Every structure is written in C-alpha cells, then in structure tokens.
C-alpha cells in the first residue's frame, strides 16, 4: 500500500501577515469606531493565537480582522460622508439649503412649468435617438464597405465621424440652427428651431454611435461573414441577417450610455432660445431670486437618467454572466 504524502508548508508561508493587519485594524478602530472595534479585537485575537502556535485559528481571526477593516472603510466612510453633507447644509443657518431648496421647490405652478419644459427635452431626445440609431448604423456600414472602389465612400464616412467628434455639441447647435436658418436652403427652410436642434444632435451623436456600431461589427469573428457568404448570401445579406444582429446585441450597454449623454445634452438647446426645462429653470431663478429652479431641473433629469444607468449596468452584468457561462 502506497503511503500518502502531504508536502510540508514552510512556517514562513503559513504565518499570518500580522504587522500590516494589526496596524490597519488599530488605525481603523480609531477612525471608524462603529466597526473598527471588531477589527481590532479580531487582530489581537489572531496575535495571541499565533503566539500560542495555533496558526490555523490565527489565520481565521486575521481574515476576520481584515473583513472588519473593509466593513469599517465602507460604512465608516459612508457615515462621514453623510455627516459632512448634513454639516454642509446646516452651517450658516442653512444658507446652502436656502439657495438650492427654497420654498419654490414646493410650488405646484413652478413644477407644472418645469414639466412642460421637460416634455420638450423628452420629445427632442426620443426623436433624436431614433434618428441616431438609423444614421449611425448607416455611417458604420459605409466605413466597413470592402474593396478599393469603396475607398472614397469610406473616406467620406471617416471624415464625417472625425469632424463631428471634434466640434463641441454647443458649437454644432449654433452652426446648424443659425447657419441653416440664415441660408434658407430648400430642404431646410420649412423646419422650425426645434427641428434644427434635433438635426444638430443627430449629427453629433451619430458620429459617436457610429463608432460604437463599428466596434460591435468588427468584434464579430470573420468566420461568421465567411460562413454566410459560403451559403450563397451576398455581402449585404450577410451583414443584415448574420453580422449586424449579433453586433447589436453586444453593443446595447454602450449604446445606452451614449443615449444617456444625449438625453442630458438636450439641455443645450436652451442656448438657442427654446424654453425647455433649463430655460424655464432660469426664468424661475430670475423671478424668485434663487437657484432652486436648477435643482428642480436636476431632479427631473435624475428621475429618468438613473433608471437608464441601472438598465445599462444590468445589461453589462448579464453580458458578462453569459460570457463566463460560455
């Protein structure tokens, strides 16, 4: 019968890293006494167990000490942050609270006005988002056209992408709205100011989203396209039925992030003179001598942005889970 052999682990490798653990636990017990006490108690216990030669129990207590250290950092910093915010809004007789949370925030008429303006932001965002999805996909497909004959098309698509990613969105708004209004071109002379703003936002975000599309398409292995072509599908059919559907599923999280940015940038149209939520917030501030209008506008944006952000995070986690499972 063959005897089992267990290699001996060196004592140095089995020692609890007590110096760092104990020092950190001691500091945390002073900075965050709510949970730092447990870190200090477990670190001292680990020290005694190690001195007694019970390395296994000492290691367990040392791990518990480190665990309580992290609890102390997390919850302790949260407590200090909350205390700091309370102090910030209460010093000088609550001056900051009066600036950002004046009585106007409880005014129903003010909220009605803000919601009316915010509805304009939502309409601009929804229309622009639909157009961006179509326009950006077209630009991405043009940049990926194969063959030397399509080189000029690829160049124009790349030039558009680089150009509108280089110019600030507010400057594009000025150029499109005021420039096209003054030029009175046949295709654009019947548009109103809000339509011009949508065109400007589509041009800006189309450049960004087209790169997201392109990255997603290029992430699909070339064998997918080759297999589709071997079945007799044309290049266009292969992209439409095989490559693009897979790419779109992969880029949903970054697309949502871009659309969150688009939704927030609709506030830029107030610079053109449209009385949307930011313009109405400015009007409330001027009439009431307060900044609460900006707070109300921020709360409205938060109410629709955070659910989108959580949805994007959920999609990213789901994608990672599928990747690990595969």
Q: Are residues 264 and 198 in the same domain?
A: yes
How many domains in the chain? 2
In a domain, 128, yes or no: yes
pLDDT at 236 over 90: no
Averaged pLDDT for residues 74-91: 85
In a domain, 1, yes or no: no
- Distance (Å, whole) CA 56 – CA 50: 9
pLDDT at 126 over 60: yes
In a domain, 305, yes or no: yes
* Predicted pLDDT at 326: 57
Final residue belonging to a domain, choices 93, 115, 139 = 93
Give residue for tokens 């994007």: 312
Q: Are residues 156 and 23 in the same domain?
A: no
* Predicted pLDDT at 12: 44
Which range is least confidently modeled, 16-20, 142-146, 192-196? Answer: 16-20
Q: Are residues 283 and 151 in the same domain?
A: yes
In a domain, 280, yes or no: yes
Q: Are residues 135 and 252 in the same domain?
A: yes
Q: Are residues 87 and 191 in the same domain?
A: no
Averaged pLDDT for residues 235-240: 86
Asked if 281 and 293 touch (Cβ cutoff 8 Å), the reply is yes
In a domain, 174, yes or no: yes
Final residue belonging to a domain, choices 53, 69, 93 = 93
Q: Are residues 23 and 120 in the same domain?
A: no
* Predicted pLDDT at 26: 62
Round the average pLDDT of the chain to a whole number and report it: 83
- Distance (Å, whole) CA 232 – CA 239: 13
Q: Are residues 321 and 249 in the same domain?
A: yes
* Predicted pLDDT at 30: 66
Q: What is the pLDDT of residues 245-302, one digit of tens each?
A: 888 888 888 888 888 899 999 999 998 888 899 999 998 888 877 888 899 999 999 9
In a domain, 282, yes or no: yes
Query: Cα angle at 174 between 164 and 116, to 5 degrees?
Result: 105
- Domain hosting 310: range is 103-325
* Predicted pLDDT at 21: 57
In a domain, 199, yes or no: yes
Q: 112: burial class by Cβ within 10 Å (0-12, 13-18, 19+)?
A: exposed
* Predicted pLDDT at 4: 47
**pTM metric for this prediction:** 0.76
Residue 197 tokens, joined: 């703003």
- Distance (Å, whole) CA 111 – CA 108: 5
Final residue belonging to a domain, choices 93, 122, 148 = 93
Q: Are residues 315 and 212 in the same domain?
A: yes
pLDDT band at 9 (very low <50, low <70, confident <90, very high): very low
Averaged pLDDT for residues 15-36: 62
Q: Are residues 77 and 31 in the same domain?
A: yes
pLDDT over 90 for what percent of the chain?
33
- Distance (Å, whole) CA 210 – CA 144: 11
* Predicted pLDDT at 18: 52
Q: Is the dihedral of CA 67, 70, 71, 76 positive or negative?
A: positive
Q: What is the pLDDT of residues 90-114, one digit of tens each?
A: 888 877 888 888 888 888 888 999 9
Q: 226: burial class by Cβ within 10 Å (0-12, 13-18, 19+)?
A: exposed
Residue 268 tokens, joined: 């830029």
Instruction: Collect all residues with Cβ–Cβ distance below 8 Å to 261 and sequence separation of at least 6.
Output: 205
Q: Are residues 86 and 109 in the same domain?
A: no
pLDDT at 69 over 80: no
List the CATH number of the domain containing 305: 1.10.3720.10
- Distance (Å, whole) CA 245 – CA 217: 9
Q: Are residues 115 and 43 in the same domain?
A: no
In a domain, 4, yes or no: no
Asked if 212 and 244 touch (Cβ cutoff 8 Å), the reply is no
- Nearest Cα residue to 251 out of 203, 165, 312: 312
- More reliable by pLDDT, 21 or 277: 277
Q: Are residues 110 and 236 in the same domain?
A: yes
Q: Cite the beta strand spans of 143-301 per DSSP E.
A: none
- More reliable by pLDDT, 141 or 256: 141
* Predicted pLDDT at 297: 92
């Amino acid at each position: 019968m063959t005897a089992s052999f267990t290699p001996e682990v060196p004592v140095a490798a089995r020692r609890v890293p007590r110096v760092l653990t104990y020092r950190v636990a001691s500091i945390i017990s002073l900075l965050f006494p709510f949970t730092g006490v447990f870190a200090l108690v477990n670190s001292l216990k680990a020290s005694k167990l190690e001195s007694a030669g019970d390395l296994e129990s000492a290691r367990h207590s040392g791990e518990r000490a480190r665990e309580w250290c992290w609890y102390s950092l997390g919850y302790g910093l949260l407590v200090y942050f909350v205390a700091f915010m309370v102090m910030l809004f209460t010093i000088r007789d609550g001056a900051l609270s009066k600036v950002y949370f004046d009585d106007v925030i409880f005014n129903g008429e003010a909220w009605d006005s803000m919601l009316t303006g915010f509805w304009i932001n939502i309409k601009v965002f929804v229309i622009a988002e639909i157009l961006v999805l179509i326009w950006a996909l077209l630009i991405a497909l043009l940049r990926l056209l194969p063959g030397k004959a399509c080189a000029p098309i690829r160049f124009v698509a790349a030039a558009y992408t680089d150009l509108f990613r280089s110019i600030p969105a507010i400057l594009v708004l000025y150029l499109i709205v005021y420039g096209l209004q003054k030029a009175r071109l046949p295709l654009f002379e019947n548009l109103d100011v809000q339509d011009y703003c949508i065109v400007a936002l589509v041009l800006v975000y189309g450049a960004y989203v087209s790169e997201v599309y392109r990255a997603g398409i290029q992430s699909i292995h070339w064998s997918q396209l080759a297999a589709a072509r071997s079945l007799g599908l044309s290049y266009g059919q292969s992209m439409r039925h095989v490559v693009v559907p897979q790419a779109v599923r992969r880029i949903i999280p970054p697309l949502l992030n871009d659309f969150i940015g688009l939704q927030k940038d609709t506030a830029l149209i107030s610079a053109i003179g449209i009385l949307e939520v930011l313009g109405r917030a400015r009007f409330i501030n001027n009439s009431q001598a307060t900044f609460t209008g900006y707070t109300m506008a921020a709360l409205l944006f938060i109410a629709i942005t955070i659910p989108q952000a959580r949805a994007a995070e959920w999609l990213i986690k789901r994608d990672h889970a599928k990747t690990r499972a595969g």
